[in-house]
Each structure stands twice: as C-alpha cells, then as structure tokens.
C-alpha cells in the first residue's frame, strides 16, 4: 500500500480499452456516473472488483481500471459471492442486465439478495436482449413487438423491485440512466450500504428498444411520470409539485394538491425502513396510472452473509483451537503395526 | 485351516485366512451401521479389510420389500485384500426380501443366519413370496441358523422399559453380537461407539444396545447349532500406525492437507448430491481449519463461487456427481479461460440422467474429458481406492496451481463409501505446494499483463487487492499476454494451442506409468479408477496360474503418462475392463491406434475377481 493517500479522480478508474457499446447507448451514462462516484467512495481501484455476466451491460468490467471478471450468463452473483466470502475486505460490484439477472440468472439473483452478501448489484434494465439482437426479455412489456415476438409479448413481465422485496433485500433503489445527478447519488448510497445493495437503472437501448423509458427520461414528461423517493418526506411529484401519493386502505392513490383539499400531511411519507408490504406497494406503481418511484425504496441494516460465515470460522477456531491435521488424521480408533 | 481345542470359550475355534460376510436387511434396519462397525473392529484387529456398502436411493423404501433391501459386504483377512470378495462365506439376512435377493452370492455350504421372527406370512407377502424360502429344499446347500432375533432382543432389553419400536431397533446390535462371537471380533470399539453415539439423555438406549450386543454374543456361545467360531489373524501390513478410512472422508482430509501444504484457505462450494454429499458434511465440521463450506443454491453457483474464491486467491474446490458435473460444464470452461486453479471432483454414480444414485459406475470419463463447448481440455486424474483419495486431491491441487487451470478428479460411489485400512501419513513430511502471487507489474511499458506465461505456460496468479496489478479476466477469447478481448484468428489458434499445451505439460510434473508384471507378454490388463483392487487381484491370480499377463493401472487419464504408448506396444493384446461401455478403450484406441479389447459391465456393481480372471484366461496363456 502507498503511504501517502492519493486523491482519486474519475480518470484513475478509466481502463485503456476502447468502449464497444453502440453510440447513444444508455450504458455510457451509467459508466460515466460510476467513474465519477468511485473516487468519492474513496476505495482505491485495486480494492475494487467488478463482476459481470453476459450481455451488453456485462462488458462493463473491461471499461473500468479495477479488478474485474467477465463471467458467464447469469452467474455473476455466484462468482461474486465466492469472492466476497474469500476476501470480505474487497469492494465488489455486480453489473448485470434484465436477461442476465432475471432470466438465466434469476435463481442466483434471489439467493444473493436473501443472503445479504455485502456487495452492490446494478441491473441495467432496458427491457430487451441487446447483445443477441433484439429478443424480448423478462421485463419486456406485454404486447411488445420484438424479433422473437412478432405478434407481441404474451408473458407477464417481472418487476425487479418487487422480486427484491420478496427476497428481503436490505437495500433497494431505482434510477434512470439520463438522470445523471440522481443516478450518481443512488450509486453512492448503494456503495455506502452494508449488505446487498440492489439498484435498478432504467437504461435506454436506442437500437432495439428505443424510448422504452422515454416517459421517465424526457424532460417534458419525467416530472409527471416519476416520483422521487426521499426519506421522511411526503411523496409529491409533478412539474408544479401539485400531485401526491396517498395511502388508501391497502392501496395507493394519486391525489391533487392544487385545490388545497388534500394537505401534505395526508400524503404518504416515504420511510426507507418501512414495512416491506408498503415498499411492495411502491414497487407496483407503474406508468401511466402512477408516477414510477425513483430513489431508495428500502434501506435497512441486517448482518451480512460473509460476516456470519467468517464468524463461524473464527468461533470454531476460538472454541477448538486452530485445526491440527496430524491430530485429525490420528483421531478415533487406530492400531500400530510393528516391523 | 486347522481346528484347535477351545481356549477361553467353550467351543473350538477354526483359523481361516479370510472371511467374506454380507449383512442384509431393511434400509431402516441399521445394516450400514453394523457393517461399518464390523469393518472398523476387523481393521483394529489388524486384518486387511475391503468393503462394499450397497443401499437403495430411497431413505426408507417400503418396509420388508425387495426394493428396500440394504446391504453391507466386508472381506477381512490375514493377507492383503483389494476387493470386498466375490462370493460369501456368510450371509446374515434380517428378512425374507433380503434373503432372496442375496442368497445367490452365498457359497455352497456357507453360513446363513436369519432373523426367524421376520418370516411370518405378512413378511413373505411384502417380499412377494408364496412360501417361506426357509422351507425350500435348496436350504440344504447352506448351514442355516434360524435365530429368533426380534424376540431374543426384546427379552434382553426388557429391563430398560423401552417402547416396542425402540426395543426392536436394538436387534441389529444383537445380530452384531452374534457375528462378533462367530468371528472372534473384540466388542470394545463398538461399545465405545455405542456410548459415544447415545450419550447425553439417551443413556438408556446406549445401555440397551450394549445389552443386545452382549446377548447376541452370548447366544453364539450357547446354541448348539453353531459348533465353533472362527479366527482371522492380523495381516502383515507394513509398519506404521493405521486407521480405517472411507473414500469421501479421505478425500475431504486430502483437501485439508492440500490447503495446508499450499498455505491456502480452503473454499468448498457444493450442492447436495449422492454420493458426494458426505464430503460436504465432513468439511463442514472443520471450520477450525479455516475451511469455508458454501452450500450453494445449485450446482452452477457452487462451482462459480469456487471460481470467485480462486480468483480471490483461495483454494477453490467443488464436488459433485455426474448430473451436477453436467450442470457445471460451462463454468468449468470459464475457469479454463480465466486460467485459474480449481478442483472439480466427480464422485461418479450410475447414469445417465438421475440414473442409479447409490450405485457405482465409471461412465463419466468422456463427460469430464469432452463435456464442454469448444476446445477445452483439462487434466483428469482418477482415484483407485478409498485411501488413495487423500493423495490424489493433493496431487491435483499441485497441478492446478502449477499450471493455473482447473483439474478434475474422478472418484466413484464404490470408492466413496468403501473403506480400507490406511497408514496414517506423517504430516510434517508432506512437501509444501509452492504458490505465489505477484506483487510487481510485469510490464515496464504499460499495464500489468495477466496472461504473460512462465516455462510451463502458466500465467501469474495476481489477486485483487494488489496495487498496480488491476486487470480483467473473462470468458471471451483474449489476447495472449494482455488478456484484452481479441477476435483475431491467429491469436485464437495460438490460445487454443497454449491451453492444450498447458494440459500436456502436466505430464512433465507427473511420474511415468508403472506395470505390475512382465514388460511384455500375451496380455496387458489396463484399468483405471475404482476397479483397481479387482483387476490387481485378478491379474495376480492369473499370474499365479502361470498366465502371461501384466497389469497397468492408470491414475492420469489426461494427459496420459508419457510412456504409456511404449508399454502398450509390449503386449500382444490389451484388455481394458471398465464399468462403462468402453470409454477408456475409445481414448486409448484413438490415441495409440491399439486394438484394445473391452470388458464392460454396467450393473451398478463392481467387478468380481472371478469374472475378470475368466476374461483374462480367454486372452492369455
């Protein structure tokens, strides 16, 4: 380790590789924000590892000058879990997509979240398979026309945030590729959380599914189509901040604040430590009936997996002493044959 | 053999050089426990022993049915034994289903001990028998001893106030006592086991089991039908301290030894599967060795987590059986591309698909050789016996770290659950396995080159956390040296050759093939894996009978030992016995253009020595 602490800049995290994403891809924006945030987190490049699966997003590790593994389709969470168990001190990021994390790697995704391994998982959701050139994904919407669904998608889509709540993830957030300030804040908060931090990023694939999230990206519509979650604050949205979200029985409703009939204190106040049932309700808010929440849905503390696993090893050593191989081999019934 | 006058006990003792006995009953009858105790006790008495546990995949198959029969065969002898024995000197059968499914293996004149209480009409019905086999005229071929085990056990333990069910459960210890008396086995080790197993809160059960064991012994001493007992003297093993060891246990301990020798912490990623799960159970007990056992969500996560740990600088290991290895295939290819050390251990079972989970087979050889996409060779080693598992995983880890690649070790159900006496090695004499991680950038002109190679073509094992060595590895084809993504045709061909040459370089680190017997002659028996004991014994018998035959047992299946071609050329014929359809034979034929003859058995059972000797005599004079 260097003795003098170096002040890190975004450039320190840039690799020497040419970036091979399509021009105009939302991935560029996510990469830029990541490189901006990494120095702010203050962990040096050699202590940082990016692990990905397969897909456009999964080329990410090649473009950051940290340690990195470009693994196989859907399995990045498993590789990352092994690495984190071996080396808990490392800062580990899993970069994945909607097909990688939710289709072929769905099993690992759920188990990563429920174990609460201390790492960050960023899911680039573009509602399409990009690298295989345009088949529908598990987050494609019903009726979506793609190469593999010329008459429209008939599957009901998966909701990544709902799944994360089902798996009892301790940190769940959403952001949008083009909303760079917000994205940077969310990535930073994800890095600060101890336990698995799950961030869904709405990412535009301008080649195979252009405009899938235009409602959340375009300046003209995004204020009405999204609501920013802020801990302890009422859920207010709209260009003129004139609409709010209110709890009505077991569901949510959009209310108008303009006429003064509904007051701010009647609205739902966002609580990152709220009961998961409430967080689930937020995850079900879908455009155009509702503005879609962006920001941190949930942020709770819970012991991490590697802490518990390493803890048992330490406990075993403490209770029984460091293992003695010769003693083990000679344990139990033995007999001696003389020359 | 001689019959001696009675010594401490009233009845005479017959000295024999070896005994093969099989204990059979319901899968809930405790036959495996009985067999393990008899094995352990015989080993402690200094006999050489070999075992063959044989049980159904179902935990509790329907009681009394043929499908639920569980058996344990053990041969103990005053001479070296390498197999559990072909045919039986004695059969202990706890019910009619067990009797009829095993009787064919009992020698004429052999001892047949049955629990007479379980031959009622209902028991016969469960075994799908119209009449009692005990009334069959064929019983004249055997020395039938009918013992009212259920009743006698119940009476013996009556003082403990156990429930009918609990009392009934003690009857395997009664049977054990009787067998112990019959073969002059000392009860001490089993008594220690009983009181260790049923300790806190279950001392009544322990006392009842002890009583049942002693009652069985006393019964043997008393009944007139058993005129004498047997004695088997200690075998002449080389000097040293021994223990009894099972294959999966030896394998787990070998992994601990490999970790210690290389100064690494063991990371073990696994998903439960028969017959490999006992390795997970065993290692999970040794957290104080710094072992991290990770029971993953599936086979793929198990191997991927091990890859992650290896990337982090630990000793990554995953184990499974055939179906799980199939699932791991893609990840094994990834590890090969990342060029990281990894152990992948396949405890083979009967296939294909779910196949025969609790039975043995050698039919995964071609899967581990070729069951990956692309040109993806990996070293393959095969254990030959339970004790050998200890050595082989250490050797495999040496290769994996020296060559920076995944290494496959094959075991099988027969080895995994089998047991043999094992000379305890002196740990201080195990040489270190040298492993190093670079600290300095190897490229004065730019970023660290993760794929710069040494003379064995191994790349440096640079681990995260090391300043200045940041690099990316991945499954996409990469440029040699830099590791950058490359689709260049020349580079791809070069990389494919390098990866193949790395595997070939393993031969430089391994000893040459040895042969038991003459260097030339009529026939070479070429075997691999768990058939070692049977093939060795068969060849020795054939040699004693004057046949021109030698034996070579392969430990290294990929790459083959460098002198194998020369060896094969020394014989008129090569016979390859395998518990598959001829997988090694296919490899040997294609590699050496030798017209090898196959002897193939796919019954979920090991070879018998007799059938091998017969086959050998067809081809050697």
Q: Summarize pLDDT for A81-122 with one digit per residue, the tens.
A: 999 999 999 999 999 999 999 999 999 999 999 999 999 999
CA distance A282 to chain B (A): 29
Ordered per-residue pLDDT tens for chain A, 339 residues: 445 567 889 999 999 999 999 999 999 999 999 999 999 999 999 999 999 999 999 999 999 999 999 999 999 999 999 999 999 999 999 999 999 999 999 999 999 999 999 999 999 999 999 999 999 999 999 999 999 999 999 999 999 999 999 999 999 999 999 999 999 999 999 999 999 999 999 999 999 999 999 999 999 999 999 999 999 999 999 999 999 999 999 999 999 999 999 999 999 999 999 999 999 999 999 999 999 999 999 999 999 999 999 999 999 999 999 999 999 999 999 999 887
d(CA B263, CA B259): 6
CATH homologous superfamily of B243-425 equals Thiamin diphosphate (ThDP)-binding fold, Pyr/PP domains (3.40.50.970)
* Residue A1 pLDDT: 44
Q: Is residue B295 less than 8 Å (CB to CB) from chain A?
A: no
- Render A185-222 in DSSP notation, one character per residue: HHHHHHHHSSS-EEEEEE---TTTSTTTTHHHHSHHHH
* Residue B202 pLDDT: 79
Confidence of residue B197 (pLDDT cuts 50, 70, 90): confident
Complex confidence, ipTM: 0.97
Q: Which B-chain residues 459-518 have CB contacts (< 8 A) with chain A?
A: 463-476, 484-485
State in Å, rounded, how far the first CA of chain A is from the last one.
Answer: 56
The beta-strand segments (E) located in chain A are 48-52, 67-70, 91-97, 120-125, 171-176, 197-202, 226-229, 236-237, 243-248, 251-256, 292-299, 334-337
In chain B, CATH 3.40.920.10 covers 2-232
Say if A327 falls within a structural domain.
Answer: no
Nearest to B81, CA basis, from B599, B541, B476, B545: B541
Say if A282 falls within a structural domain.
Answer: no
Overall number of domains in chain A:
1
Identify the closest residue of chain A to B305 by CA–CA distance.
A82
β-pair partners for B437: none
| Interface touch B447/A16, C-beta < 8 Å | yes
Angle between the A76-86 and A305-320 helix axes, to the nearest 10 degrees?
Answer: 40
Residue A259 phi, psi (nearest 5): -85, 0
CA distance A216 to chain B (A): 34
Give percent of chain B with pLDDT exceeding 70: 98
CB B302 within 8 A of CB B328: yes
* Residue A4 pLDDT: 56
Identify the closest residue of chain B to A314 by CA–CA distance.
B288
Enter the pTM of the model.
0.95
CB B205 within 8 A of CB B216: no
pLDDT tens by residue, A157-180 = 999 999 999 999 999 999 999 999
Q: Which A-chain residues 45-84 have CB contacts (< 8 A) with chain B?
A: 45-47, 49, 51, 61-62, 65-72, 75, 77-84
CA distance B256 to chain A (A): 8
CB B372 within 8 A of CB B310: no
When the pLDDT of each residue in chain B is averaged and rounded to a whole number, the result is: 95
| Interface touch B240/A337, C-beta < 8 Å | yes
Residues of chain A found within 8 Å of residue B292, distances taken between Cβ atoms: 85-86, 309-310, 313
Higher pLDDT, B203 or B561: B561
* Residue B55 pLDDT: 87
| Residues 6+ positions from B595 with CB-CB distance below 8 Å | B574, B589
CA distance A42 to chain B (A): 14
* Residue B7 pLDDT: 44
**Rounded average pLDDT over B280-286:** 97
Q: Is residue A108 less than 8 Å (CB to CB) from chain B?
A: yes
> Taking 60 as the threshold, does the pLDDT of residue B1 lie above it?
no
Q: Is residue B49 less than 8 Å (CB to CB) from chain A?
A: no
pLDDT tens by residue, B374-423 = 999 999 999 999 999 999 999 999 999 999 999 999 999 999 999 999 99
CATH code for the domain defined by B521-619: 3.40.50.920
Q: Is residue A113 less than 8 Å (CB to CB) from chain B?
A: no
Q: Is residue A35 less than 8 Å (CB to CB) from chain B?
A: no
Q: CB pairs under 8 A, 24+ apart, for A136-144?
A: A137/A97, A137/A98, A137/A99, A137/A102, A137/A103, A138/A98, A138/A99, A138/A102, A138/A103, A138/A106, A139/A98, A139/A102, A140/A209, A144/A209
| Interface touch A83/B309, C-beta < 8 Å | yes
Say if A67 falls within a structural domain.
Answer: yes
pLDDT tens by residue, B51-80 = 999 888 888 788 899 999 999 999 999 999
CATH code for the domain defined by B2-232: 3.40.920.10
* Residue A304 pLDDT: 98
Peptide bond preceding B478: is omega within 30 degrees of 0, i.e. cis?
no
Residues of chain A found within 8 Å of residue B265, distances taken between Cβ atoms: 86
Say if A111 falls within a structural domain.
Answer: yes
* Residue A5 pLDDT: 62
Residues of chain A found within 8 Å of residue B240, distances taken between Cβ atoms: 336-337
Q: How many CB atoms lie within 10 A of CB B201?
A: 7
Q: Is residue A332 less than 8 Å (CB to CB) from chain B?
A: yes
Q: Which domain holds residue A39?
A: 10-212+304-308
Residues of chain A found within 8 Å of residue B466, distances taken between Cβ atoms: 46
Q: Which B-chain residues 432-451 have CB contacts (< 8 A) with chain A?
A: 446-447
d(CA B272, CA A296): 37
Residues of chain B found within 8 Å of residue A335, distances taken between Cβ atoms: 43-46, 241-243
In chain B, CATH 3.40.50.920 covers 521-619
CA distance B415 to chain A (A): 19
Is the sign of the CA dihedral B27, B33, B35, B36 positive or negative?
positive
* Residue B59 pLDDT: 81
Residues of chain A found within 8 Å of residue B485, distances taken between Cβ atoms: 17, 62
Q: Which among A79, A81, A323 is the nearest to B288, CB-wise?
A: A323
Q: Which B-chain residues 240-259 have CB contacts (< 8 A) with chain A?
A: 240-244, 253, 256-257
The CATH number of residue A134's host domain is 3.40.50.970
Residues of chain B found within 8 Å of residue A69, distances taken between Cβ atoms: 308, 311, 338, 472-474
d(CA B336, CA B596): 31
| Interface touch B294/A79, C-beta < 8 Å | no
Mutate to test the interface with A, among B264, B464, B483 (most CBs of A within 10 A): B464
CA distance A239 to chain B (A): 44
Q: Which among A65, A90, A313 is the nearest to B464, CB-wise?
A: A90
CA distance B261 to chain A (A): 11
Q: Which among B238, B313, B469 is the nearest to A86, CB-wise?
A: B313
CA distance A115 to chain B (A): 11
CA distance B462 to chain A (A): 10
| Interface touch A334/B243, C-beta < 8 Å | yes
* Residue B8 pLDDT: 46
- Burial of B428 by CB count in 10 Å (0-12 exposed, 13-18 middle, 19+ buried)? exposed
* Residue A7 pLDDT: 84
CB pairs under 8 A between A and B: 213
């Amino acid at each position: 380790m260097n003795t003098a602490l170096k002040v890190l800049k975004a450039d320190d995290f840039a690799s020497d590789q040419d970036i091979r994403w399509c021009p105009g891809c939302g991935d560029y924006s996510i990469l830029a924000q990541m490189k901006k945030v990494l120095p702010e987190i203050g962990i040096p490049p050699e202590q940082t590892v990016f692990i990905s699966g397969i897909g456009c997003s999964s080329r990410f590790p090649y473009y950051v000058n940290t340690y990195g593994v470009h693994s196989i389709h859907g399995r990045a969470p498993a590789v990352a879990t092994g690495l984190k168990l071996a080396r808990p001190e490392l800062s580990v990021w899993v970069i994945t997509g909607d097909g990688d994390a939710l289709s072929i790697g769905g099993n690992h995704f759920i188990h990563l979240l429920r174990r609460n391994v201390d790492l960050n998982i960023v899911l680039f959701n573009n509602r399409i398979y990009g690298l295989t050139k345009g088949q529908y994904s598990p987050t494609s919407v019903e009726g979506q026309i793609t190469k593999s669904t010329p008459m429209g998608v008939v599957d009901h889509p998966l909701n990544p945030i709902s799944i994360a709540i089902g798996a009892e993830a301790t940190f769940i957030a959403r952001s949008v590729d083009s909303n760079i300030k917000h994205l940077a804040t969310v990535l930073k908060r994800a890095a600060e959380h101890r336990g698995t931090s799950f961030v869904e990023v709405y990412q535009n694939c301008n080649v195979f599914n252009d405009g899938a999230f235009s409602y959340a990206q375009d300046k003209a519509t995004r204020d009405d189509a999204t609501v920013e979650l802020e801990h302890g604050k009422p859920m207010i949205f709209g260009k003129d901040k004139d609409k709010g979200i209110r709890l009505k029985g077991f569901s949510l409703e959009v209310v108008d604040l303009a006429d003064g009939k509904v007051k701010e204190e009647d609205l739902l106040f966002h609580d990152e430590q709220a009961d998961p049932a409430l967080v689930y309700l937020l995850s079900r808010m879908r455009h155009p009936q509702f503005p879609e929440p962006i920001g941190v849905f949930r942020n709770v503390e819970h012991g991490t997996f590697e802490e518990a696993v390493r803890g048992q090893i330490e406990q075993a050593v403490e209770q029984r002493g460091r293992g003695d191989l010769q003693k083990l081999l000679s344990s139990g019934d033995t007999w001696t044959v003389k020359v | 053999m001689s019959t001696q006058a009675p010594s401490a006990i009233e009845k005479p003792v017959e000295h024999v050089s070896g005994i093969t006995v099989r204990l059979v009953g319901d899968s809930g009858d405790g036959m495996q426990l009985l067999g393990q105790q008899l094995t352990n006790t015989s080993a402690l008495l200094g006999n050489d022993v070999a075992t063959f546990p044989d049980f159904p995949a179902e935990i509790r198959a329907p009681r009394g049915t043929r499908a639920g029969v569980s058996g344990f065969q053990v041969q103990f002898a005053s001479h070296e034994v390498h197999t559990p024995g072909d045919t039986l000197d004695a059969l202990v059968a706890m019910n009619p289903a067990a009797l009829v499914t095993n009787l064919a293996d009992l020698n004429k004149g052999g001892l047949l001990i049955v629990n007479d209480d379980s031959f009622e009409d209902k028991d016969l019905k469960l075994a799908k028998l119209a009449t009692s086999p005990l009334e069959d005229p064929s019983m004249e071929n055997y020395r039938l001893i009918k013992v009212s085990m259920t009743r006698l056990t119940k009476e013996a333990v009556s003082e403990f106030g156990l429930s009918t069910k609990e009392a009934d459960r003690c009857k395997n210890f009664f049977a054990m006592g009787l067998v112990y008396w019959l073969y002059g086995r000392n009860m001490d080790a089993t008594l220690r086991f009983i009181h260790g197993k049923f300790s806190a809160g279950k001392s009544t059960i322990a006392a009842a089991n002890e009583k049942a064991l002693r009652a069985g012994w006393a019964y043997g001493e008393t009944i007139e039908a058993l005129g004498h007992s047997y004695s088997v003297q200690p075998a002449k093993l080389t000097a040293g301290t021994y223990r009894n060891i099972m294959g999966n246990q030896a394998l787990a301990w070998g992994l601990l030894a490999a970790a210690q020798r290389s100064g690494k912490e063991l990371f073990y990623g696994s998903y439960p599967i028969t017959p490999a799960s006992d390795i997970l159970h065993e290692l999970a007990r040794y957290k104080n060795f710094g072992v991290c056992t990770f029971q993953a969500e599936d086979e793929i996560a198990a191997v991927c987590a091990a890859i992650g740990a290896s990337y982090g600088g630990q000793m990554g290991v995953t184990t499974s059986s055939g179906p799980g290895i199939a699932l791991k295939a893609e990840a094994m290819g990834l590890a090969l591309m990342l060029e990281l050390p990894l152990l992948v251990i396949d405890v083979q079972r009967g296939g294909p698909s779910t196949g025969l989970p609790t039975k043995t087979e050698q039919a995964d050889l071609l899967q581990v050789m070729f069951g990956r996409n692309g040109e993806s060779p990996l070293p393959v080693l095969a254990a030959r016996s339970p004790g050998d598992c200890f050595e082989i995983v250490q050797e495999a880890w040496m290769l994996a770290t020296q060559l920076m690649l995944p290494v496959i070790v094959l075991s099988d159900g027969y080895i995994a659950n089998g047991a043999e006496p094992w000379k305890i090695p002196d740990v201080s004499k195990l040489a270190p396995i040298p492993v190093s991680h670079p600290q300095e950038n190897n490229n004065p002109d730019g970023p660290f080159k993760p794929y710069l190679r040494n003379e064995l073509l191994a790349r440096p094992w640079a681990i995260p956390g090391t300043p200045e060595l940041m690099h990316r590895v991945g499954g996409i084809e990469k440029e040699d040296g830099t590791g950058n993504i490359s689709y260049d045709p020349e580079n791809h061909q070069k990389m494919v050759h390098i990866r193949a040459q790395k595997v070939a370089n393993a031969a430089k680190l391994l000893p040459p093939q040895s042969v038991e017997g003459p260097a030339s002659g009529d026939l070479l028996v070429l075997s691999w894996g768990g058939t070692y004991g049977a093939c060795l014994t068969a060849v020795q018998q054939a040699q004693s009978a004057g046949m021109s035959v030698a034996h070579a047992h392969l430990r290294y299946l990929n790459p083959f030992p460098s002198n194998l071609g020369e060896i094969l050329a020394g014989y008129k014929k090569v016979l390859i016995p395998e518990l598959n359809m001829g997988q090694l034979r296919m490899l040997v034929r294609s590699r050496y253009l030798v017209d090898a003859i196959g002897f193939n058995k796919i019954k979920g059972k090991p070879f018998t020595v007799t059938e091998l000797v017969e086959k050998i005599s067809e081809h050697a004079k």
